[in-house]
Amino acid sequence: MPLNVLSRLDSRKPPVAPQPVPEHAHHAGPSLHGDNAARRQAITELLFFSSVGDLARCQKICATWRIDPMDPSCCDYDKRTPLHLAASEGCYSVAQWLVDECGVEVNPVDRFKRTPLEDAVRGDHGEVVVLLVGQGGKVISKEGNLIDLSDSRLSGNVRIFGELDPEWEIDPKLLQFGDKVGEGEFGIVYRASYLGTPVAVKVLKDNDAVALGDFRRVRKLTSWCR
């Protein structure tokens, strides 16, 4: 019997002492894959809202995700930056914010060998062209060098602060104004009648470059809906 007891006691495993945690384990955290994917999505949204001129959304995304538009990774697959997209769509407020407040590079070159200035010229966005040229904006020559717009083949392709197309001009005396229906950053919208046809009329609060650029962008969008 004593032998049996001793054998049973000897067969018990000694308690295992707790092992020290490796030093690197204290600093180990969750995978960054999820955070990187979310940040990439945020940059995609920044690019989109830059292209539609939503300055408030752009600022909020940058603040929330701590995105610096100057970062070389802040672009799409074709290396088109927020400034490329704002310039190509004539979004003056966003372009001005990117250049003046964010300090982005004025002449980034995308995969198609275009700068934001060339995008603005091809879109006939005169106010944005003036903004970018004033900040040192250039275009790419056939040889692949950055040159002044005035020295390029694109120099005659943009109307800088030009007049509106005649087909868009009407006699203001033929408008009969009604109630105010809305108000935005750049203008006030009224119900009105033009030669018996119900219309909406936007009256600009100012005639500076930002307001005119916004007006021309809206005019271009509405022309696509005709």
Set out the domains of the chain in order of their start, with CATH numbers.
36-151 (1.25.40.20), 166-224 (3.30.200.20)
**Using N-to-C axis directions, what is the helix angle for 126-134 and 209-224, rounded to 10°?**
140
Nearest CA to 88 among 225, 217, 207? 217
Q: What is the pTM of this model?
A: 0.65
76 exposed, middle or buried (CB, 10 Å; 0-12, 13-18, 19+)?
A: middle
pLDDT tens per residue across all 226 residues of the chain: 444 544 444 445 555 444 444 444 444 444 445 778 999 999 999 999 999 999 999 999 999 999 999 999 999 999 999 999 999 999 999 999 999 999 999 999 999 999 999 999 999 888 899 999 999 999 999 999 999 999 999 987 776 644 445 555 678 888 999 999 988 777 889 999 999 999 998 887 776 666 666 666 666 666 656 5
CA dist 91 and 128 (Å) reads 8
CA dist 81 and 187 (Å) reads 29
**Binding-site residue positions:** 202
Q: Where are the alpha helices (DSSP H) in the chain?
A: 2-11, 33-51, 55-65, 82-88, 92-96, 116-122, 126-134, 209-224
With beta carbons less than 8 A apart as the criterion, state whether 140 and 118 touch.
yes
**Binding-site residue positions for ATP:** 202
DSSP summary character for residue 130: H
